[in-house]
A and B are shown apart, each in its own frame.
Chain A
Amino acid sequence: MNLKETLHNTEKFLAERMPVEKMNYASMVQKKEVPVHGLAWGYYMGGLAMFFFMVQIATGLMLLFYYQPTVSDAHASVEFITDQIPAGALVRNVHAWASSLMIGSVLIHLLTAFAMKAFEKPRELTWVTGVLLLGITFGFGFTGYLLPWHQIAVNATKIGLQTIEEIGGYLPGQMAEWPRLAKEIIQGEASVGQATLSRFFSLHVIILPLAIFGVLGFHLVSVQLHGMSKGIDAKPRRLEKFFPTFLLKDLRVWGIAFMVLFILGACLPFESLFAYPLFEPFDPKGSTPDGIKPEWYFFWVYYPLELLPLWVILVGSTLLAGVLLATPWIFKNTNRQSLRLIAIAAGIYLIIMTLFGENIYHLFKG
């Protein structure tokens, strides 16, 4: 193991993945071209996710002006924003809808990037940072959900964290306690309460944003330097200019997304999709309402968790995470047709489990 050789190889690897020589006006704007083909609609998905993220930052900061992260005041402060602050209901509703839309577009972005083999060399690091961003985004969803401190928020979080504790059943002897301790560290106390709220709040508002800015920054610079990947196996027959054609189309997509989001935010309170008892203030001394479940973007793992033994889910999730991170190397030689089929299958699974998960659960459990 020659150190000089290793260093040289590392440098070569990084230089190919981060082509800083392309950081000039000519490469990044003037000469950049985007392929036009049947899957070219996938090129817009990443930008769409970022658009929703920017909306989240804006609305989140506005909510931050009035939200109070204490167990006694959290629910009341959200009620205050909705009922008393002019346009508060709009800001809050947009924040709720945009979170679902962001996660939805992130998932579509994942599947289309996979199907287009966008992770092919030299874009491996873009992919890996993207998987990290996926995790951070789900983290945003999970931590943010607790903040209004209503029945479904607290109880769903409790159930979610309970899963960690149940891992202890598989560990021998003293180690059986470790998952419970891990859960208590995440929670900050024995059961979900003020300590949990405080740390979830700090995660949601500053720690995860700092993390995402760092990772997203790298991800975006990488995308800009490498340009759009070719997306199909054959050589693309048509290319359009990035500036202004593709950029304008991208902005048009953002415009439509904005209009849809605004109308949803102004006209459809997201709480109307659930039964009202789920949004009452959390009352540890009172009853738990029916229908507690996590947010829809967790259904793909929640219903299997209810149906199958825990170890199946654990093994499966670990495999999934490993495969996702190592995709550029595992699928290096796979052709795009196969990738497309895998992506479609994954997409079908996600859609079926999200829409019909509860029915499937009742089918098996009665």
Chain B
Amino acid sequence: MRTNPFITGFTALAALAFGGTAHAYPEFQKYVSQKSGRTVNCAMCHMHSDGPEGAAPGQIGHLTMGEQAELGRARAAFEPHANVKSPILNAFGNHIINSLGKKQFLELRVTPSELANKLPKDSDLDGDGITDVDEYLTGTHPLIKSDGLPWLLFKANLAANLGQIVLMLAATVLGLWGLHHLLHGFDVATRLQDNDEESG
């Protein structure tokens, strides 16, 4: 595994807090789990659900040479708007690094709640009607369209699909009304036939 001399300093900071890895940040996960009460995993920001350590696809041990170079560039993106694409981060993770810069992100490790205030307020990467900041705070995945607080998703989808729903309601009501009268018509007509048969 390659080490970058630039981040040995920050590795020391990490070693102080959690004595070990410099590349996984469980403080944020802990904060989100506690605040939201939902189970989350590293896949909220990382490519692999168990984080960047390991040899599975999406983890550091599985990177090609080109991807390792990308990783190096991403790790050195201390200032915001560096426009990097780390191969061990998903779109949300890269969004964090590109919006805040690695330096500010590492500073936020002691106050993970502040991440919600520093990220762009109206970004909604998966287009589900819930902002990324809100999804971070409620422990739902910012890149999965079908993941979110059920009531918020319901409202957003209802607004988006209102035309179709109204059409469906109109069709059902009209159809039932029509069937109601159609069946009544059959009933009356058959009664008539019975009457005819009976009266001769």
Contact = CB atoms under 8 A, between A and B. Distances in A.
Given A255-B175, A255-B176, A277-B49, A290 B39 contact: yes
B11 interface: no
A262 B39 CA distance: 29
B168 interface: yes
Contact of B190 (A30, A83, A273): A30
Contacts of A269: 145-147, 153
B101 interface: no
Nearest to A278: B39
A175 interface: no
B8 to A, nearest CB: 29
B158 interface: yes
Nearest to A290: B39
A266 B165 contact: yes
B interface bracket (residues with beta carbon within 8 Å of A): 35 or more
Contacts of A273: 150
Interface stretch (B14-22, B65-73, B108-116, B179-187): B179-187
Interface residues on A, range: 35 or more
A266 B164 contact: yes
Q: List the 6 shortest-distance A-B pairs measured between CB atoms, nearest first.
A: A269-B146, A244-B183, A267-B157, A290-B39, A275-B39, A276-B141
Interface of B: 38-41, 43, 48-50, 56, 139-141, 144-150, 153-154, 157-158, 161, 164-165, 168-169, 172-173, 175-176, 179-180, 183-184, 186-187, 190
Given A248-B179, A267-B157, 13 more contacts: A244-B183, A248-B180, A268-B157, A272-B146, A272-B149, A273-B150, A276-B140, A277-B49, A279-B147, A280-B43, A280-B49, A283-B56, A289-B41
Interface of A: 30, 82-83, 89, 241, 243-244, 247-248, 251-252, 255, 258-259, 262-263, 266-269, 271-273, 275-280, 283, 285-287, 289-291
